[in-house]
A and B are shown apart, each in its own frame.
Chain A
Amino acid sequence: MIEAIGLTKRYGRTVAVDNLSFTVEPGRVTGFLGPNGAGKSTTMRMILGLDRPTAGRVLIDGKPYTGLHRPLRTVGALLDAKWVHPNRSARAHLKWLAKSNGLPARRVDEVLETVGLTGVAGKRAGGYSLGMSQRLGIAAALLGDPQVLLFDEPVNGLDPEGILWIRNFMQGLAKEGRTVLVSSHLLSEMALTASDLVVIGKGKLISQSTTQEFVDRSSESAVKVRSPQLGQVAPLLVHKGFTVRDNGDSSLSVTGATSDQIGDIVAAHGLVLHELSPQRGSLEEAFMQLTGDAVEYHAEIGK
């Protein structure tokens, strides 16, 4: 578990993180979202003891990172895949990391196997593609078999197979009861990966909830209805006080009602349904709506 309590970080007069409190639970993949400059990286760096908070604190299983005896055995992190000496081989890089935390050397081969780098383990890391560097970073994070994992933009540079692999992998880690915190800008990807979300903007907490709640809260949900007897269904629903809009493709968009309610009404009148699907807003829509004024930086294309 990760707990941030009143976390604050100032650089000179710029407030990067402002009295931020949140909890990341074990057993779930938690997405960490925010526009550029929201303070995500700074927060992750503070979680890992790389930056010192100006105020407040952040605890990992009740202890600050710097208070952990063997940090790699508690926390694994992938912040930047390029933090490897380019002339060192993947195996050598993992070996010194293992040594530093008293981990057995065989663990190096295990994690290389897990991420699929066994074949190139002896080659210098400087020659790796971004995707391979990313896999090496993940191998390093897994080395100490930690209970808490942090990933910053893990799909960066991965190809579709790699993206699918890491998504399943992170969900697998969560299922084993680990705490997984993933920061990413790719909302369509996060919608598939994260079951919980911590959303920040301008250094402040905007929302902490499940992904489902986050999306439902900020986007209007409609139900799409198709029927061969649409002409009879529509007046029924209007009569009940629901808002009904004709989509023009012989389907209706109904707001103000759940699909359960609509199904009950249609069945009670013995009418036939060809479709009754709740339309959920996208994570992107919800995100844009909630962080609208927390964005530091706007492109002008809309004008």
Chain B
Amino acid sequence: MTLLAVERIKLFSTRSPWWCAALALVITTGIAALIAANTSAEFPLTVGLTQAFYSFGMYVVLVMAALAVTTEYRFGTIKATFLAVPNRVSALVAKTAVVAVMAGLIGEAVAFGQWGISKLIKPNADIAINSAVEWRNVAGVGLVFLVGSILALAVGILVRHTAAAVSILLVWALIVEQLIGIIPKIGEKIQRWMPFVNGNHFLTAGGPELQPDPIKYPFGAWGSLGYFAAVSVGLLIVALVVAKRRDA
């Protein structure tokens, strides 16, 4: 508990988490508002549509999570941290826990923010959250942010440099995972194992498809989330082992 409190003090004694949270909210609710405003009878607003651009918020949160650890390396505070808490694994796990919870909360705020602003703009649209599928599509965003932030922290711990960590994460999530499907024949077979693709599948599985999805997922909705989480936690374990072994 002490270590969680320590990391909470650290996270909230700088302004960057607030800026990231605000930025994630503004971008996603802004896009949701634009989409809602442009829906019509032929192109109706659905629950799925309100969440269509949650990933923009996720990218911001990935950056925030990576920064939470790379700035410690950048400013040398990681050494102060390891002096105060020589058990590096506990210190970094505590940091991951705090950042992941923060990411989850931002995710929920993003999800319900998108849904809320859509409802506000189109009060008559049928976007009541009724089914389990719809609940997963909205409330699940927080879980995806949470798991994604664990992966981002792991990358941050491994590479230690802000620019490198952020580039790796964004290039991976935005470009590699999307474009890998283009490779003839084997592209799809690789793409179905990509972590963020699976995170997205968790949210959208079973809902109305906005466009036909060519990927044959190996898991169902919760299985996909489990797979995404397994990859993230696996990478975190690797990162923790590396951090424990190397010189601070």
Whether the complex brings A and B within 8 Å at their CB atoms is answered no
Binding site for A on B (CB under 8 A): none
Binding site for B on A (CB under 8 A): none
